[in-house]
């Protein structure tokens, strides 16, 4: 993308989205920072970001945001699809309405944003789409099945899209963070703790909750800025990688899962979660 092309970032009210918008602004980009509640972006507005309301589960909201950027610049230079959250719990027990809502944000909203920016990118003959996935799109932990499913979907969507749009000068990049200290961990942990009394999975829920809380407090967890740095690299590098795995611990786990195979990984997960 050209140096003066605008960058549209979803989910900027906190965490990775906020840090990404800040880093892009510091690098000199025109940044359109978005969130469902634009008043949550006042700090970014004061530092030079253009602020827009954008709810990735609302068609009119998505169209309006993209059209605002295109009206001023002709096309979105780079789209950073960051908006997302996690629904956790045993596969059997998670309410499917909650699963559908998660997929609306993590998968369908992300995919629709890609659809909306691509005509302008094709006309411009260039563009970049950076999809924030997760190491959870490459491996699965117990109680995370529905969340991981959404991230596996993001991986598949991005792999197909990357090949389809390359002839038009558009690059598609996946950023796959490991444990990052944001509100994500607290929200997911709350879901684990909210199981029905007497659940057959009560022990698993309780121990998974403990493991998750300890993991997000551990040295393996990193600050959102490390993901933001990877996103900035993905946006600015002339020939970006197809994937950026973020944090050393995430790289180790992804490679371990790849090399270990299903049976070894399953055994390790049963031991880690005290499942016999």
Out of 13, 134, 150, 158, the active site residue is 13
Place of tokens 């970049």: 128
Q: Please name every residue paired with 32 in a beta bridge, in sequence order, or none if there are none.
A: 8, 50
Q: Tell me 105's DSSP state.
A: I
Which of 32, 133, 189, 244 is flagged as catalytic? Answer: 133
Q: Are 174 and 231 in contact (CB under 8 A)?
A: no
Q: Is 151 in the active site?
A: yes
Closest CA to 54 of 70, 46, 66: 66
- Residue 177 main-chain phi, psi, to 5 deg: -75, 155
**Hey, which bits of the chain come out as E strands?**
7-9, 31-35, 50-53, 78-81, 127-132, 170-177, 243-246
Helix or strand or coil: residue 131? Answer: strand
Selected catalytic residue, list 134, 150, 151, 158: 151
Instruction: Please name which of 89, 275, 70, 88 lies closest in space to residue 199, comparing C-alpha atoms.
Output: 89
Q: Is 258 exposed, middle or buried (0-12, 13-18, 19+ CB in 10 A)?
A: exposed
Centroid of chain to Cα 2: 24
147 assigned to active site: yes
The question of whether 13 is a catalytic residue gets the answer yes
With b for 16 or more beta-carbon neighbours within 10 A and e for fewer, the 181-210 pattern comes to ebebbeebbebbbebeeeeebeebbebbbe
Q: What DSSP string runs through 210-268? A: HHHHHHHHSTT-B-HHHHHHHHHHHHH-SS--SEEEESHHHHHHHHHHHHHHHHHHHHH
Selected catalytic residue, list 32, 147, 201, 216: 147
- 14 an active-site residue? no
- Catalytic center residues: 13, 133, 147, 151
């Amino acid at each position: 993308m050209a140096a003066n092309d605008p960058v549209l970032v979803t989910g900027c009210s906190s965490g990775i989205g906020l840090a990404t918008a800040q880093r892009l602004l510091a690098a000199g980009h025109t940044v359109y920072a978005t969130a469902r509640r634009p008043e949550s972006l006042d700090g970014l507005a004061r530092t030079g970001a253009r602020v827009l309301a954008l709810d990735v589960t609302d068609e009119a909201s998505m169209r309006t945001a993209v059209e605002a950027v295109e009206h001023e610049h002709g096309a979105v230079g780079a789209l950073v699809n960051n908006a997302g959250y996690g629904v956790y719990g045993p596969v059997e027990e998670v309410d499917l309405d909650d699963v559908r809502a998660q997929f609306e944000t993590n998968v369908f909203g992300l995919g629709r944003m890609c659809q909306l920016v691509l005509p302008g990118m094709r006309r411009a003959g260039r563009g970049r789409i950076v999809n924030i996935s997760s190491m959870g799109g490459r491996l699965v932990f117990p109680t995370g099945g529905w969340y991981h499913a959404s991230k596996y979907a993001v991986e598949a969507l991005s792999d197909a899209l990357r090949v389809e749009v390359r002839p038009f000068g558009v690059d598609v990049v996946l950023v796959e963070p490991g444990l990052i200290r944001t509100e994500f961990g607290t929200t997911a942990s709350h879901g684990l703790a909210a199981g029905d009394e007497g659940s057959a999975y009560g022990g698993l829920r309780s121990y998974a909750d403990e493991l998750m809380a300890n993991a997000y407090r551990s040295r393996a967890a990193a600050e959102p800025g490390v993901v933001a740095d990877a996103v900035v690299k993905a946006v600015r590098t002339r020939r970006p990688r197809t994937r950026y795995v973020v944090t050393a611990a995430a790289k180790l786990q992804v490679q371990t899962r790849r090399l270990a195979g299903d049976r070894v990984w399953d055994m390790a997960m049963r031991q880690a979660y005290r499942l016999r």
